[in-house]
């Protein structure tokens, strides 16, 4: 019994370490300004949500998009499509997506999207050093009127989703 408990403890302790290992792969598709499809040699296809940011929503068949949603998607495509990136896992969301910090040649792409005014710092989910970094980048982009901050008072995506969720068609 003691051997079984010891083995179980070793397995449970090893899981978070394995889950936190960086994932390297090629970006095959960009869904919007904060979500992409990664093809990794060891894991196959992974849908990846950029950690700590929330980009304006893009138009879908069942709902309209937000201003700068298409721009954010195009910029992320330009930066990453067809390129090999490293994802530093932070979490897994309720949709089963890997949530992580995407790096290209050492650059923090999540931070770049916020700094360029193409995403909000998603404070509800930010922790540790990313919280102050991303929040500071958002403030700078806001003061410089970059990207979506050219609008007077842009509607955050989490509010947009809440407002438009009643308009969605259910199949």
Catalytic residues: 49, 57, 97
Helix, strand or coil, per DSSP, at residue 119: coil
Of how many residues is the chain composed?
171
Q: Is the dihedral of CA 147, 158, 123, 106 positive or negative?
A: negative
Alpha-carbon distances of 76 from 31, 100, 126, 170, rounded to whole Å? 9, 15, 20, 29
- Measured CA distances, 98 to 7, 47, 57 (Å): 27, 6, 19
Q: How far apart are CA 35 and CA 31, in angstroms?
A: 5
Structure-block tokens of residue 150? 């050219």
């Amino acid at each position: 019994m003691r051997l079984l408990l010891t083995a179980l403890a070793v397995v449970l302790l090893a899981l978070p370490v394995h889950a936190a290992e960086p994932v390297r792969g090629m970006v095959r598709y960009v869904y919007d300004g904060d979500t992409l499809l990664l093809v990794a040699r060891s894991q196959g296809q992974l849908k990846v949500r950029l950690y700590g940011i929330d980009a304006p929503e893009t138009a879908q068949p069942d709902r309209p998009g937000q201003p700068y949603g298409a721009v954010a998607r195009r910029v992320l495509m330009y930066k990453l499509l067809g390129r090999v990136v490293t994802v530093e896992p932070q979490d897994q969301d309720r949709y089963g997506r890997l949530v992580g910090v995407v790096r290209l040649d050492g650059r923090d792409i999540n931070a770049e999207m916020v700094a360029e005014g193409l995403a909000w710092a998603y404070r509800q989910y930010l922790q540790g050093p990313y919280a102050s970094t991303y929040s500071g980048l958002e403030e700078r982009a806001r003061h410089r009127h970059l990207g979506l901050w050219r609008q007077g008072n842009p509607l955050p995506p989490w509010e947009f989703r809440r407002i438009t969720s009643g308009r969605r068609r259910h199949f």
